[in-house]
């Protein structure tokens, strides 16, 4: 049944903005003509009108919670009649701009205060202009959350507050141009696996130190890391060319007193392990170069060890451990053996052994050398001391003495001195050239060793003497 004109006027008169709430409005609240939208259990959202001191339910998204007598009732209606909402006239007319429209076509003229209530079942939320969200939780259970636009997106906190980005699966950051991570203090990457994939050049630059470190857990509370972790720098490029795969470089930029070095170090080892501390392996050759500096000054190459050094050719090499020396295994070709300094090999303390020497050039060899002057007739001169004479059966010496009396009168004698028993050495003259009245003899004594005596018949003194003793073989060679 249609409402009368007075009823419609009463219903649609404007007292103030509609209110919102839960449950039926209290009878003592509101003023005549007020409108209130209430969420009522079992009825959904109900529109109430304050009329004659009572709140009357006008419409509902579900069932009306009560009957709605408005105005006079014709005598044909009983108290049990219910007015059908669809029979009301003017329902399609938009006569009141203070109401929100369900189709969303009317803009708000002020802020919408939802109190502590939620806005639910939103498909797409399009925010145009500056928006402030306070204590906002975004739940993507119903779909993707997307923040995009032509302007920058800034996440900022103040004080000691953090920004936390957490993903249960993958955190995918797609950058179209540049990726800038500006950290004032510490940048801590705590991930199980970090994978950097770059379609072009990747440059890591720092104005201070850069440390790449692997750290394991201290499972036994020993204060040491228990995990066997590895830092791998790898280039798996298969380009069909000869190129530099990994380049480690320092550059002092020509600055004075700048010595920008590279240190590869295996340090703080409690005891020797079963493998090498530093292992350099290549299937395409290894080259070590020491180049001149900017001024042309030459650069040395130093290789040293506190233990043995082994050099050899082959697929495997067993290092020696008996002596702290350099050992060359297998064939060795040396173009020149040369020493222009004073650090010669002392054969009295170092055993130098060649299996074969094949040469068309001079081989100069001497085990001991001695020189003297002002040796009077009848006096002796020691060439090989008793402690170094290698006295014994099998030892053979070639002893050569050159001397002169005054500034001329050159003389020379050569002896073979050989061991005939374990307690004696015998000297035999094999060649000599003597001046007038000159003479000399070679002998051995257990206390003096191999000695030469001036036997000049006219008591002439030797002014200068040069002698050498070459051990041709030793008794120990036959042990």
Q: Which of 340, 293, 333, 294 is nearest to 311 (CA)?
A: 333
Q: How many CB atoms lie within 10 A of CB 414?
A: 16
Instruction: Inform me whether the pLDDT recorded for 70 exceeds 70.
Output: no
Band of pLDDT at residue 93, cut at 50, 70 and 90: confident
**Strands 368-372 and 19-22, how do they pair?**
unpaired
The reported pLDDT for the residue numbered 398 is: 96
Identify the residue with better confidence: 331 or 286. Answer: 286
The reported pLDDT for the residue numbered 379 is: 95
Task: Map tokens 């001991």 to a residue.
Answer: 368
25-33 contacts: CB < 8 A, separation 24 or more?
Answer: 25/50, 25/55, 27/53, 27/54, 27/55, 30/55
Angle of CA points 149, 143, 104, to nearest 5°: 70
Encode pLDDT of 219-249 as tens digits.
677 777 777 788 888 888 888 888 888 999 9
Options 3.40.50.150, 3.40.1350.10, 3.40.50.880, 2.60.40.1680; CATH for 368-478 is: 2.60.40.1680
Could you give the residue range(s) of every CATH 2.60.40.1680 domain in the chain?
A: 368-478
Asked whether 467 and 391 are in contact (CB, 8 A), the reply is: no
Q: Alpha-carbon distance 459 to 376, whole Å?
A: 7
Encode pLDDT of 387-420 as tens digits.
899 988 999 999 999 999 887 789 999 999 999 8
CA distances from 139 to 52, 145, 164, 339 (A): 46, 8, 15, 83
Asked whether 391 and 419 are in contact (CB, 8 A), the reply is: yes
Beta bridge partners of 326: 309
pLDDT-wise least confident of 72-86, 109-123, 430-444: 72-86
Q: Alpha-carbon distance 194 to 201, whole Å?
A: 18
Residues constituting the chain: 479
CA distances from 389 to 107, 108, 322 (A): 119, 118, 27
Band of pLDDT at residue 343, cut at 50, 70 and 90: low
Task: Map tokens 């040293």 to a residue.
Answer: 304
**Strands 44-51 and 35-40, how do they pair?**
antiparallel
Band of pLDDT at residue 53, cut at 50, 70 and 90: confident
177-182 contacts: CB < 8 A, separation 24 or more?
Answer: none
């Amino acid at each position: 049944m249609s409402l009368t004109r007075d009823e419609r006027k009463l219903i649609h008169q404007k007292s103030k903005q509609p209110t919102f709430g839960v449950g039926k409005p209290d009878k003592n609240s509101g003023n005549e003509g007020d409108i209130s939208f209430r969420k009522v259990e079992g009825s959904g959202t109900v529109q109430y009108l304050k009329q004659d001191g009572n709140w009357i339910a006008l419409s509902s998204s579900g069932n009306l919670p009560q009957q709605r007598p408005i105005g006079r009732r014709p005598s044909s209606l009983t108290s049990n009649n219910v007015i059908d909402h669809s029979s009301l006239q003017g329902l399609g007319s938009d006569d009141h701009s203070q109401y929100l429209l369900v189709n969303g076509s009317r803009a708000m003229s002020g802020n919408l205060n939802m109190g502590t209530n939620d806005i639910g079942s939103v498909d797409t939320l399009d925010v145009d202009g500056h928006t402030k969200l306070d204590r906002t939780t975004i739940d993507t259970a119903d779909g993707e959350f997307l923040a995009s636009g032509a302007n920058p997106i800034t996440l900022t906190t103040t004080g000691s507050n953090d920004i936390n980005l957490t993903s249960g699966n993958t955190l995918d950051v797609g950058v179209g141009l540049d990726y800038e991570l500006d950290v004032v203090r510490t940048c801590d990457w705590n991930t199980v696996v970090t994978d950097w994939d770059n379609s072009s050049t990747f440059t890591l630059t720092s104005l201070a130190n850069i440390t790449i470190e692997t750290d394991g857990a201290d499972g036994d509370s020993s204060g040491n890391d228990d995990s066997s972790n590895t830092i791998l720098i790898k280039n798996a490029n298969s380009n069909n060319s000869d190129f530099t795969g990994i380049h480690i470089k320092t550059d002092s930029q020509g600055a004075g007193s700048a010595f920008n070095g590279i240190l590869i170090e295996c340090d703080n080892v409690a005891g020797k392990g079963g493998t090498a501390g530093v292992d350099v392996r290549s299937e395409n050759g290894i080259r070590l170069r020491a180049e001149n500096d900017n001024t042309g000054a030459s650069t040395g190459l130093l290789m040293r060890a506190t233990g043995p050094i082994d050099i050899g050719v082959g697929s495997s090499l067993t290092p020696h451990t008996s002596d702290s020396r350099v050992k060359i295994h297998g064939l060795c070709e040396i173009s020149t053996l040369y020493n222009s300094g004073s650090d010669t090999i002392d054969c009295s303390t170092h055993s130098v052994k060649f299996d074969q020497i094949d040469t068309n050039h001079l081989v100069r060899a001497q085990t001991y050398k001695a020189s003297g002057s002002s040796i009077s007739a009848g006096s002796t001169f020691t060439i090989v001391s008793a402690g170094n004479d290698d006295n014994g059966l099998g030892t053979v010496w070639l002893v050569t003495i050159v001397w002169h009396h005054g500034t001329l009168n050159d003389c020379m004698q050569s002896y073979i001195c050989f061991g005939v028993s374990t307690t004696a050495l015998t000297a035999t003259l094999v060649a000599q050239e003597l001046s007038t009245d000159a003479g000399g003899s070679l002998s051995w004594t257990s206390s003096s060793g191999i000695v030469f005596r001036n036997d000049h018949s006219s008591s002439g003194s030797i002014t200068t003497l040069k002698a050498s003793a070459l051990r041709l073989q030793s008794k120990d060679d036959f042990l």
